[in-house]
Structure 1
């Protein structure tokens, strides 16, 4: 059974989508049974074009990415999440739905690359993809099946500090 990880951001158009794609990319490359999902509290309905561009340029599959509400993952028929990660401060401050199974929750904040000046935006997206990708690689390398929730939370906090 895969380890399901949900990454949240308010609009689910940039940072959370980058994280979903990067974690699924690294899990696939490492042969890990990990499945990343992303969602937002107020989804924009589209993935930012610069996010798609930097992922494609890095050789990451974007075919399954879509901007969706976190409500999709709070129902009884939703995949049970082991970890929920917020990647923007506004989503971290919001009252999240109840997640069945009591997943480990952490916040890994990143500045919104969409807010960069237009001429700097492609670089901001690439730097954000790299930063998120590094943490997702560290997450994918963890022995998730062998870790208790307390050990996993501690490891996620250590990744945040690195």
Structure 2
């Protein structure tokens, strides 16, 4: 099964989702190919995303923002958009199930460094909860 997490900048939410999905797919013994991409990718991953994921023991520092054309979009079984902008600009892929997780963009959050990190942690934790739920659902389908 192939899953793509799509966001506008592919610098925070979708990168964290990709990291969690790869981690939990392995933990749940699921055979998944996990991708992320952006409709308008940033130049780099937000350093705060890398930092807060490391706090969870997941290293996403080797990941990088990608365009939709950089991933095998037409081969996806499941596409999850993580923001309103991506939902509107994400192409429809015939045969792919599509979900939308409307999450605030931590990269756009303004505040002190600590306030930004705290906001990144909140979004990270919500993504982790949703990814775990998704992995549990996929594990049940494999059993059925």
In structure 1, runs of 5+ residues without a counterpart are 148-162
Give, in angstroms, the shift of residue 45 of structure 1: 2.4
Counterpart among 129, 140, 146 of residue 135 in structure 2: 140
With over 3 angstroms needed to count, the CA separation of the structure-2 counterparts of 1:45 and 1:145, relative to structure 1, is farther
How big is the alpha-carbon RMSD for the aligned residues of Structure 1 and Structure 2? Answer: 2.0
Distance 1:134 1:107 in 2: 15
SS at match of 1:38: strand
- TM-score normalised by L of structure 1: 0.78
- Whether the 8 Å contact between 1:9 and 1:91 is mirrored in structure 2 is yes
Distance 2:124 2:24 in 1: 13
Distance 1:10 1:39 in 2: 8
Q: Report whether the alignment pairs 1:103 with 2:101.
A: no
SS at match of 1:46: coil
Counterpart position of 2:25: 27
With over 3 angstroms needed to count, the CA separation of the structure-2 counterparts of 1:143 and 1:88, relative to structure 1, is closer
List structure 1 segments (4+ residues) > 6 angstroms apart after TM superposition.
Answer: none
Distance 1:48 1:70 in 2: 19
SS at match of 1:105: strand
Counterpart position of 1:13: 11
Counterpart position of 2:36: 38
SS at match of 1:84: strand
Counterpart position of 1:128: 123
SS at match of 1:93: helix
Counterpart among 81, 88, 101 of residue 86 in structure 1: 81
